[in-house]
Amino acid sequence: MRLPDLNELLQYKNPAVLKLYDQNYPANKLSSEKAFTEVLKYLWLTRRHELDLMKNADNENFPQACIMLRSMREIDEMWHEFILFTQDYMDFCEKYFGGYMHHLPNIFDNMPRPRDEVERDIEKLLPYIYDHLGEETLYTWFEPYLKDGE
């Protein structure tokens, strides 16, 4: 399991994926370039989280999952477009992460969970994202949720 340098990872480009996203999601708020950058950051963070979780398994204040909320729908859509280019996606994952980065659908949106439990999970995750990717990423990913608290 490998964690690439984030700046090196963000240099990765795939114009075909951007073109497909533009064709399939012309009304999305995020540009294809921005959505692709956010996917790269999300993949990096999920790998980082996997490694950090091994060291923090007993820490109840550590986020137990790197979840993708509804506010990240456009980022998730870009990830789907990237995966459609199977060879490119597999080569990318192998080069940067040492193996395939699986996408698991969010089946939990349709499974009731107590709101306070979800909020606790998010409260643990937000500082983790901020510490590793900064405020701009936090607002890009969670702006609707963060505005609710203002």
Boundaries of domain holding 113: 6-148
19-78 pLDDT, tens per residue?
999 999 999 999 999 999 999 999 999 999 999 999 998 998 898 888 888 889 999 999
**Model pLDDT for residues 64-114, shown as the tens digit of each residue:** 888 888 889 999 999 999 999 999 999 999 999 999 999 877 655 555 667
1 in a domain, yes or no? no
d(CA 102, CA 89): 10
- In contact, 141 and 134? CB cutoff 8 Å: no
Radius of gyration of the chain (CA): 16
CA distances from 122 to 6, 71, 79, 145 (A): 23, 12, 21, 10
Domain assignment present for residue 142? The answer is yes
Count: domains in the chain? 1
